Chain A
Amino acid sequence: MDTGILHPITTAHYLVLSALLLLIGTIGLLVRRNVVVMMMSIELILNAVNVNLIAFSRHLQDLGGQIFAIFVIVVAVAEAAVGLGILIALFRNKETVQVDEIDLLKW
């Protein structure tokens, strides 16, 4: 059964989905004030990249994409751990998690 561009699922569908996730993550990073939610947006962006890598890994039948996705996940874990540590230190000093109230370095 052929129903136009919606069926069957091709690599292009995954690329469009990845672009949408990246877009949503970027908007979240730009508009939210809460640092925790901004870090969640970063996780969304990294996931969008991973979807892309996996789609091309399947498309080319090359496992390099999946290996790279594993490394992206490792870096995401390290980033989340250090970022949340910084956030706790910041909260201890400034009593806030709103990004626009953290302006010590702003001239």
Chain B
Amino acid sequence: MLDTFFFYAFALLAIAGAILTISLRSAVHCAIALIASLAGVAGLYLLQKAEFLFAVQIVLYIGGIMVLFLFVIMLVNLDQAARERQFHRRFWAGIAAGGATAALFAVFLLKGWGSIQLGEPAPPDPNAPGNVEQLADTLFRDYLVPFELASLLLLVAIVGSVIMAKKRVS
């Protein structure tokens, strides 16, 4: 019962934050709405027993990426942009494409739901260690090469973003 309540609370937070993110005028307000949405998603991770991802979502997304976004918003001075037209010229085309996709989802859910067998959820292992321990085991045993490649990707991204953002020295 409590699970149900928290699921709908977090889902409402995530959806409402997402809608505000794409509809508010000022980019700073959009960023704050996105933070609310990300916090809702983090709560859903917690409900799904993914404690490590919950912490990563809070620390990295809300603490890291969103601060980066806010920094850039301050740097590029969006006051001018906030006074101008908010939406693209293709506004109605975008809404139509989104509506068509939503209709596809709805038809799929209403007509085809019975034919999908998700199956019963697998029962959790009562003797399993904690989520972080399990994740560490899996990550460093089975996914070591992708892990190292991810560090390479991050290095390239750091160097690339510095080169992109630095002033030209002539």
Interface residues of A (CB under 8 A from B): 1, 6-14, 16-17, 19-21, 23-28, 30-34, 36-37, 39-41, 43-44, 47, 50-51, 54-55, 57-61, 63-64, 66-67, 69-71, 73-82, 84-89, 91-92, 96-100
Contact = CB atoms under 8 A, between A and B. Distances in A.
Contacts of B44: 14, 17, 51, 54
Contact of B34 (A44, A63, A97): A44
A41 B78 CA distance: 17
Contacts of A82: 157, 160-161, 164
Contacts of A64: 138
A77 B56 CA distance: 12
B107 interface: no
Contacts of B1: 1, 7
Contacts of A87: 72, 76
Nearest to A19: B105
- Which 10 A-B residue pairs are closest in the complex by CB-CB distance? A28-B22, A30-B94, A85-B164, A85-B161, A78-B157, A27-B98, A31-B94, A61-B122, A85-B165, A81-B161
Contacts of B76: 36, 87-88, 91, 97
How big is the B interface, by class? 35 or more
A64 B163 CA distance: 35
A79 B53 CA distance: 19
Given A30-B93, A31-B91, A67-B143, A86 B164 contact: yes
A26 B121 CA distance: 30
